[in-house]
Structure 1
Amino acid sequence: MVDLRQELLAVFDAEYRDHLRVIRDLLKAGCGTRPALAEIFRRMHSLKGAARAVEIPEVEDIAHAVENRLSILMERGGSLDAGDIATIAHALDEIDGIMETSSAAAPQAEGTVEERPATGPDAGADSYVQVPVSRLDALSGAVHDLMGVAERHDRLWERLDDLLRDMRAVSQAPRQLQADPVAVFSRMTRRLMAIRREHELMTGQGDRALLRLGEEVHAVSLVPAGTVFGSLAAMARRIAREHGGPDARVEVHLRGMEVQAERRVMQALRDPVLHLLRNAIVHGHESRARRLQAGKPETQTITVTVTLTGVRLQVRVSDDGCGPDLKAIAARAVRQGMIHVDAPLDARQLLARVFEPGFSTRAHVDHLAGRGVGLSIVAEAARALHGTVAMEQGQPCGTVVTLTVPVSQRQRTVVLVENGERMIGLPGRVIRHLLRVAYDDIRMIDGCPFVVLPHPDVGDHPARASGPPPAEELAPIVPLSAFVGDAAADLPVRGGAVSVAVMEVDGALCGFAVERMVEVRTLLISDASAVGLDSELVPGIAWPREDRPVFVISPDRLFERWRARGGRAMRVSLAPPAQAAPQARRAPLVLVVDDSITTRTLQKTILQAHGFDVMLAVDGEEALMLLLQSSRSIDVVVTDVEMPRMDGFALLAAIRADPRLARIPVVLMTSRDNDEEIRRGLEGGARAYITKQKFDQGELVETIRGLL
């Protein structure tokens, strides 16, 4: 019976969170329609029955009281006024408080819902999520498609067996060939070609079915942010009362609650975000008089914003409080021996210190704050999720803390680099710059190499270069092989330059020199457990290609070992580059044409890392203008197909029609992967056609090299 109750409580946890999320959304929208009022009534009624089933009478009583009030309104044909909305919102907060208290007090047996402590994707026990019937239908359809592929596969083998049987019969009775051997071989060839075509079609159908099944299975694991973060507003109001007294108030705005991510990721972020809310209330608190004097509303406002960018989930907690006290942070860091009293640190580096264990600027300790634990828990949770956390000063006031983690804990974006015999994956979340540093541009300071980092403002806005030059930012260069591999002390100089991946962890910058940058990939990462492998430094491994694994580095451990060696550049022997040929050969120039800034930037980074010069265009018209007016000769054009003004096919036709441009090879790279589109591109004069669904950046680089 205990196991059954635990299972019912787990199901109820998912159900009550869903009910409260929808009701809060309806209250926020104003509930001005009868259908909205009826939906709130229906969900309160369901919540009451579910609470009765799991024997939580406090929740049942609250739901019953709200249900009665809504029933009277519906009978009279009325609508919710501001007082009703406030009453229902308070009731939802009470339910959240009851459930939070019961979850914290309950023993953590297998099957319980709360995953505490939530410091990683695998923390806690199993929990339940609600799956729409439409999603189950989609899963069933994907499985049905795969079963269809399996049936076609069986029939294909039967046809192949028939052909093999006929071939054996002919080989055992050669006189059958004497009449018309050409006709016999022609029939067998046609049958074999038909089998091949069927196999190609079946393979394509199987790939699409597997892709669809993977997408649907992944979608089942997704939950909207509101199901996890929806109760945090009530908890923040409770914390404010505990800190400032019964009349203390705080407004919490939740934005992006419709954003979906894996439940484990969302759940693991819940406690860190709660710590950030508590930190904003305790450290950002200002008296009513002080807030009014500063021109702020008398009630403190905290905003939790959830956004999804590519494969990264970002949770931003901002407040309009007093903001971080940089002088107090610096003084505390000096007292704890984290920095030297004369060390020149900017705001970003100082604010990175607040996430260290035991760091707190609060003068006294109470049950809410002061022990320096909360923010270190946030940082540890971010690391466990292979993400980052950063604090900055809000504008014009307050504090902003941003948690950024991968949407999926198995999928991560990494920069693939070669390091001796090994392929190494550097997590993209900590990459600040990917640079190809000329030998002559390396700064030697006290026998140690440094690189001057590009200034983003000047790089992105050439017009700003006319103003005063920005201060130089230097980063030490160390060979990655000194930490992974053979512990070589030489910088790998190739072609008169060094490939450097500049990484940033906890405000510290270091450039790791590698032999070659290969590409950027999003890979499925598995735990590394190979014999003899340093699993602390290399916690993950991936197999993007069957013959060569990728060893994924832990940036935190890499920086720990770098700091253990002094946390600065290393004395290395910087051998001069090989003697250049009398006439230096220029790098090939590739024109990348795509209306997506993300795609353009990604391709530019990869191609430059492989020694190409890159020119960018947003559509076919701009590309054609650059082709005709550029002072440099463009060697290869890589273009998307679907673009505004002039698409890729029209650009291809224009290039082929102009005698001055016709010699330039064109590579089409698009999401259109049907046979007709591929035939149209190749017959139109494209030298290669790459589909984005199966995009391999290594293939793109090799394709371009093959065309030069």
Structure 2
Amino acid sequence: MDTLRDELLAVFDAEYRDHLRVIRGIVAAGCPDAQGLAEIFRRVHSLKGAARAVELPVVEGVAHALENRLSTLQAARALPDEADLKAITDTLDEVDLLMTAAPAGADTHAPDEDAPAATAMENPAYVQVPVARLDALASAVHDLMSVAERHERLWAQVMDLLDESRAVMHAPERMRADPVAEFARMTRRLMTVGRERELMSGQIDRALLRLGEEVHAVTLVPAESVFGSLAAMARRIAREHGGPDAGVDVHMYGMEVQTERRVMQALRDPVVHLVRNAIVHGHETRARRLKEGKSERLNITIAVTLTGVRLQVAVSDDGRGPDLQAIAARAAGQGLVHADAPLEARQLLARVFEPGFSTRGQADTLAGRGVGLSVVAEAARALHGTVRMEQRQPAGTTVTLTVPVSQRQRTVLLVENAGQSLGLPGRVIRHLLRVRRDEIRLLNGAPFAVVPHPNDGTQPAASQAGKQAEDLVPLVPLRAFVGDENAPLPVRDGAVSVVVMEVDGVRCGFAVERMVDVRTLLVSDATAVGLDSELVPGIAWQREDQPVFILSPDRLFARWRLRGNGGGVCFSDVDEAAPVVPVRHAPLVMVVDDSITTRTLQKTILQSHGYDVCLAVDGEEALAMLQQSSRHVDVVVTDVEMPRMDGFALLAAMRADPHLSGIPVVLMTSRDEGDDVRRGMEGGARAYLTKQKFDQGELIDTIKGLL
């Protein structure tokens, strides 16, 4: 059971973050109207139920208190005032802090920093993956399986030829009848196998390459998932440092930027240090801030940007800014600089990242031990990155962490181009071709290459020839974008080597001088001498003395489009046949709940007792599934409080539909008032279970009784 709870906690971690993100967005947009208030209430209600499901009573209690306050507002048909909005924000902060290990005291920003940073209670067993990314991953797996099947069929043809040759050896009279015809027939078959093998050469490598890139993409996480809780933490640290009335406004930008989970999480602790340091060293009294023309509250900005293969996280504040005289005196006292040496601000600010450096006169729970900023610098070095501090104008401080976006190995196709080794990312490669010079098509004077259709093996290639629409892709020399813009198509041995790549659904064939190999290389940031750093954001090394310049496919395609060579391309999309789903005979139970944690818990319980389970997020989706599904649903277990269509409305819609009226419905909700129970039972529910007294045995017994 501990394993199940760990899994549910991982699911809850993603769910509560989503609820808090949406509620904060509604509050930030201004005073919520009735619809916004209803959405906040629904999400707080779902959060409470999910916390109960994973046995987090403290979080449940906090959510329940806010739910009661919102319920009172709804009953009075009133909109939230300033005190209500503050209660909502404070509750969200409290939930965030309850789900995040409290930071041990330390210092974090301007020229000092200390204690260990907070560590999020994230369970890495689950990650949120966009449906589009899963579709791409499934497509890559399908491509690999298709290639494997074609190889199996090719091998079967080879074995057939081998069997025939053995038969001839044991029955030489077959050759005596017409040896020339027999030899010619076997030669034709062997040539057919050879051509097929030539077409399939490298397909498995390309399929594996694409699969590897898609798997890598699944590991990416948005910055919001790692830094989203820091605003609540900053507000708590501000209160600890400046008293109950102290406040801080945290602004976040670039939270949608995605990079590897390992890299993003490694930056969390350093960023927490920087936020804490900004509060400790940037704090000013309200009177002083107003006198200097600033807002009443300290402003902190966390900005995440992605440039090429470099990730930047900048933490800025509009506080006092670094005290250069104090930094110089401290650095001289520690022997880091000569007391009389004139130093620029940039040189002085670099010293604050030295171990043991602090400008605070005494240590407290938040600062003064001289540990923090050296930890930030060490974290940056561990990621092969850098950190720098700058003075903001007119006031404040900015500390920027810059690290490689990925430290993982990348699979690339190595090609030669004018004596240089270039790497093309495998995730965008669709075909590798050798196009004979006389097979190149000219349309309006522009060269095009024919892309071979995938043969599903159901028809011989000869029967398909000339009967299917041909896929044509524009053909351009890669050297025209890396080197000589007037370069001709490189022809070797009467043919052109073509790499067909696809970006955003558009394909183009780039002619290369030679394809070398498919390699997995460690890619790092680089400024390629003689090459466009925007087009070549990364560099790898085959050997110590042989660099490989990694091209950006997005920039390559952008420049190709600017040349005006993108017209006249014919695309043909072939839909794959839908897989046949085997019929299963276990009873099918539909679980309807807007909480992913509750859905996961009920699904796990039901499946462990031998039931098939389908899921819906609210009554509207459930009704559509019931009306359109080809398989009969035996029981519906539904929550009451849901968006779009609640449980009562779903029950009424099912009773009104003659095709659905016979399906038993179990209401499972935290609403345990007598009126709610009576309304549900009179509406046609066969059972009414409350989440407060949830017992999986009672749920299973109820479903068994209904079946």
TM-score, normalized by length of structure 2?
Answer: 0.54
Counterpart of 2:21?
A: 21
Residue 214, structure 1, aligned to residue 212, structure 2: yes
CA distance in 1 between counterparts of 2:147 and 2:31 reads: 49
Task: Between 179-188 and 278-287, report the one with greater CA deviation.
Answer: 179-188
**Structure 2 CA distance, aligned partners of 1:409 and 1:118?**
23
1:250-399 to 2 correspondences below 5 Å: 250-399=248-397
Shift of 1:332: 1.5
**1:193-233 superposed Cα distances (whole Å, 9 cap, x missing partner):** 43344345545654554344334423432322222212211
Secondary structure of the structure 2 residue equivalent to 1:365: coil
1:584-595 mapped onto 2 (5 Å cutoff): none
Classify the secondary structure of the residue corresponding to 2:92: helix
Q: Which amino acid aligns with 2:100?
A: E
Alignment of 1:155-174 (within 5 A): 155-169=153-167
Q: 1:382 to 1:548 in 2, by over 3 A?
A: same
CA contact (8 A) 1:641 1:647 kept: no
Answer whether contact 2:257 2:306 (CA < 8 A) is retained.
Answer: yes
Within-5 A mapping of 1:178-217: 184=182, 186-202=184-200, 206-207=204-205, 209-217=207-215
1:49-69 CA-partner distances (Å, limit 9, x unpaired): 122233332211221233334
8 Å CA contact retained: 2:361, 2:368: yes
Q: Which residue of 2 aligns with 1:644?
A: 562
- Indicate the residue corresponding to 2:535 in structure 1: 599
Counterpart CA distance in 2 for 1:641 and 1:295 is 47
SS of the counterpart of 2:534?
A: helix
**Shift, 1:44, TM fit:** 1.7
- Deviation string 1:169-200 (CA, Å, 9 cap, x unpaired) is 55676775677666555544443343344345
Q: Indicate conservation of the 8 Å contact 2:324/2:348, yes or no.
A: yes
Shift of the 246–80 alpha-carbon distance from structure 1 to 2, 3 Å rule, reads: closer
CA distance in 2, matches of 1:44, 1:58: 14
**Cα deviation per residue 1:245-298 (whole Å; 9 max; x = unaligned)?**
221121111112222223332222222111101111111222333323322222
Q: Residue in 2 aligned with 1:662?
A: none
SS at match of 2:393: coil
Inter-partner Cα distance in structure 2 for 1:368 and 1:57: 30
**1:6 positional shift:** 4.9
Cα 1:35–1:146 change in 2 (3 A) is farther
Cα displacement string for residues 496-528 of structure 1 (whole angstroms, at most 9, x for unaligned residues): xxxxxxxxxxxxxxxxxxxxxxxxxxxxxxxxx
Cα deviation, 1:282-322, whole Å, max 9, x if unaligned, reads 11222333323322222211100112223322211011112
Distance 1:646 1:400 in 2: 43
- Say if 1:280 and 1:34 are closer, same or farther in 2 by CA, change over 3 A: same
Q: Secondary structure at the match of 1:397?
A: coil
Write the distance in 2 (CA, Å) between the matches of 1:221 and 1:349.
38
Aligned equivalent of 2:93: 93
Mapping 1:411-450, distance limit 5 Å: 411=409
CA distance 1:602–1:252, change in 2 (3 Å) = closer
Q: Which residue identity lines up with residue 247 of structure 2 in the other structure?
A: R
Which residue of the partner structure matches residue 235 of structure 1? Answer: 233
2:315 aligned counterpart, secondary structure: strand
Q: The residue matched to 1:315 in structure 2 has which SS?
A: strand
Q: 1:602 & 1:285 partners in 2: Cα distance?
A: 40
**CA shift in 2, pair 1:194/1:129, >3 Å:** same
Q: Matches of 1:413 and 1:118 in 2, distance apart? A: 35
What does residue 508 of structure 2 align with?
A: none
> What are the Cα deviations for residues 89-124 of structure 1, in whole angstroms up to 9, with x where unaligned?
12101112223357989xxxxxxxxxx978999x99
- Report the AA paired with residue 308 of structure 2: G
1:639 to 1:3, Cα distance in 2 relative to 1, 3 A: closer
Where in structure 2 are the equivalents of 1:94-109 lying within 5 Å? 94-101=94-101
* Kept after mapping to 2: 8 A contact 1:21/1:227: no
Give the aligned residue type for 1:50: A
Q: For residues 351 and 192 of structure 1, what CA distance do their matches in structure 2 show?
A: 73
Deviation at 1:79, TM superposition (A): 5.6
Q: Contact (CA 8 Å) 2:10, 2:122: kept in 1 or not?
A: no
Following TM superposition, by how much is the alpha carbon of 1:346 offset from its aligned partner in structure 2, in angstroms? 2.8
**TM-fit CA distance, 1:39:** 4.1
TM-score, normalised by the number of residues in structure 1? 0.54
Equivalent residues in 2 for 1:127-166, closer than 5 Å: 127-131=125-129, 135-136=133-134, 138-166=136-164
After superposition, the Cα gap between the structure-2 partners of 1:215 and 1:610, relative to the gap in structure 1 and judged at 3 Å, is closer
Matching residue's letter, 1:28 = A
In structure 2, what residue type is equivalent to 1:232? L
Q: Distance in 1 between matches of 2:347 and 2:58?
A: 48
Aligned in 2, Cα 1:347/1:367: closer, same or farther, shift over 3 Å?
A: same
Q: 1:389 to 1:187 in 2, by over 3 A?
A: farther
Helix, strand or coil at the partner of 1:223: strand
CA shift in 2, pair 1:75/1:199, >3 Å: farther
Other-structure match for 1:63: 63
Map of 1:699 onto structure 2: none
DSSP 3-state at the match of 1:332: helix
Deviation at 1:643, TM superposition (A): 2.8
CA distance in 2, matches of 1:97, 1:120: 11
Question: In the superposition, relative to structure 1, how do residues 100 and 70 fare at CA in structure 2: closer, same or farther (>3 Å)?
Answer: same
Conserved in 2, the CA contact under 8 Å of 1:272 and 1:378?
yes
Secondary structure in structure 2 of the residue aligned to 1:362: coil
Contact preservation (8 Å) 1:118, 1:267: no
- Rounded to whole Å, the distance in 2 between the matches of 1:36 and 1:261 is 32
Distance 2:296 2:103 in 1: 34
Other structure's SS at 1:642 match: helix
| Map of 2:49 onto structure 1 | 49
Quote the Cα distance in structure 2 between the aligned partners of 1:182 and 1:340. 96
- How many residues of Structure 1 are paired with residues of Structure 2 in the alignment? 450
Q: Distance in 1 between matches of 2:518 and 2:224?
A: 43
Per-residue CA distance 1:584-626 (angstroms, 9 max, x = gap): xxxxx99x8xxx87117889xxxxx999xxxxxxx9xxxxxxx
State the one-letter code of the partner of 1:387: G
1:197 to 1:90, Cα distance in 2 relative to 1, 3 A: farther
1:606-625 correspondence to structure 2 within 5 Å? none
Per the alignment, in what secondary structure is the counterpart of residue 390 of structure 2?
strand
For each residue in 1:451-488, what CA deviation from the matched residue of structure 2 results, as whole angstroms up to 9, or x when unmatched?
xxxxxxxxxxxxxxxxxxxxxxxxxxxxxxxxxxxxxx
CA distance in structure 1 between the partners assigned to 2:63 and 2:119 by the alignment: 34
SS of 2:276's equivalent in the other structure is helix
Residue of structure 2 in register with 1:223 after alignment: 221
Q: Is the 8 A contact 2:385 2:403 kept in 1?
A: yes
Q: Deviations over 1:138-191 (max 9, x none)?
A: 544433333232222211110121223334555676775677666555544443
Q: Would you say 1:407 and 2:343 are equivalent positions?
A: no
Q: State the shift of 1:72 in Å.
A: 5.2
RMSD: 4.7
Q: What's the offset of the Cα at 1:399?
A: 0.8
What is the identity, as a one-letter code, of the residue corresponding to 1:378? V
Cα 1:161–1:548 shift into 2, 3 Å: closer
Structure 1 stretches of 5 or more lacking a match?
106-115, 417-422, 424-543, 556-588, 604-608, 612-618, 620-637, 651-671, 676-708
Distance 2:567 2:139 in 1: 35
Structure showing greater Rg? 2
